[in-house]
Amino acid sequence: MCATCGCGPTDHHHSHDHGHSLGNEQNTGKKIVTVEQDILQENNLLAQRNRGFFEGRNILSLNLVSSPGSGKTTLLERTLTDLKGQLEFAVIEGDQQTANDADRINATGTKVTQINTGKGCHLDAHMVLHAVQGMKLKPDSVLFIENVGNLVCPAMFDLGESERVVVISVTEGDDKPLKYPDMFHSSTLCIINKIDLLPYVNFKVEKAKEYARKINPNLEIIELSCTSGAGLETWYDWLKSKVLLPV
C-alpha cells in the first residue's frame, strides 16, 4: 500500500505475460511507515534492474508525469508522427482503466503496451519490468512511459527511467510547482503545454518558471503547444540531444 495515497501494493510476484490490473488490497493502517519503506525499497531494487536493462541497450527511457489531461498522449502522438523514421520509439501507457491511450499510440504505428493499474494511482518498477519483458525493445531506441495522471504518487516511484519529464498545461494554474514540489524536484525537464490557450487563461508563464526553478534550479523548461505546434522543435531538439548522449 502506498502510505500517501492508499493505493495498492505490488504484491504480484507470479510470472505472466498479461497486462496488469492491481487493486483491492487491504489497508489495515498498521505499521504504515515500515510498509511504505519496504515497498519503496523493493521498488528501488527493481528500478535499478530496469535501469541496467535500458543502459545496456542504450535505450533512452522517459517517464512522462502530469495531472490528467495536460496533454501527455497528445504530445506523444505528435512526437511519434513528426519524428517517424528519425528515431526508433516504443511506448508504455499507464492508466487506471481502458486502453484508450494505447489505441491512440497504436494509430501512429508505434509499438505500445498498456498497463491498467486498477485502483493504483501510479506505475511502479515491477509493472514496467513486466511490460518491457514482452516488448522486444530495440537497442538505441527511445521508450516513453506515460505514467498515470497524478502529480503526487508517481513522484515516489522510480521506474528505472533515464529522465523524468513533468508536463503541466496552462489551464492548471501556474502555482503547481509549489503545490507538488516532489514531482518538479525529481524531474529533468518541465514542459509547459497548451500555450495556444494563454490568451484565455490567467496563467503567468514567468511565474510558473520562477516557482519551478525555486523547487529545482536545474530544471529545464520548454513552452509548447501540441495543437499549434509552437515550441515542438525545441522539444525535439532536447529529445535528440539525449538520444545522442554516449552510454
Ligand X SMILES: Nc1nc2c(ncn2[C@@H]2O[C@H](COP(=O)(O)OP(=O)(O)O)[C@@H](O)[C@H]2O)c(=O)[nH]1
Of 57, 227, 236, 240, the one binding ligand X by CB under 6 A: 227
Using a 10 angstrom Cβ sphere, with 0-12 exposed, 13-18 middle and 19 or more buried, the burial of residue 60 is buried
Q: Is 68 within 8 Å of 150 (Cβ atoms)? A: yes
Query: Given the rule CB under 6 A, which of 72-80, 117-125, 130-138, 180-188 is the region that contacts ligand X?
Result: 72-80
Of 194, 203, 222, 223, the one binding ligand X by CB under 6 A: 194
For the bound state, the minimum distance from the C-beta of residue 91 to ligand X, rounded and expressed in Å, comes to 12
Q: Which is nearer to ligand X, 61 or 74 (CB)?
A: 74
For the bound state, the minimum distance from the C-beta of residue 104 to ligand X, rounded and expressed in Å, comes to 8
Q: Which is nearer to ligand X, 70 or 216 (CB)?
A: 70
229 binds ligand X (CB under 6 A): no
Give residues in contact with Mg ion (CB under 5 A).
72-73, 101
Q: Which is nearer to Mg ion, 10 or 73 (CB)?
A: 73
108 binds ligand X (CB under 6 A): no
Q: Which is nearer to ligand X, 53 or 238 (CB)?
A: 238
Give me 50's grid cell. 530496469
For the bound state, the minimum distance from the C-beta of residue 83 to ligand X, rounded and expressed in Å, comes to 17
Whose cell is 513486466? That residue is: 130
In one letter, which amino acid is 186?
S
Query: Binders of ligand X: how many residues, by CB under 6 A?
Result: 16
CA proximity to 55, closest of 125, 160, 132: 160
Helix then strand then coil, % of the chain, to nearest 5: 40, 15, 45
| SS3 state at 55 | helix
Q: Is 128 within 8 Å of 145 (Cβ atoms)? A: yes
In DSSP terms, 193 is beta-bridged to: 169
How many CA atoms are closer than 13 Å to the CA of 51, on its beta-carbon side?
14
Of 191, 226, 232, 239, the one binding ligand X by CB under 6 A: 226
CA proximity to 71, closest of 195, 226, 204: 226
Q: Which is nearer to ligand X, 159 or 226 (CB)?
A: 226
Under the rule (CB under 6 A), what is the footprint of ligand X? 66, 68-74, 149, 193-194, 196-197, 225-227
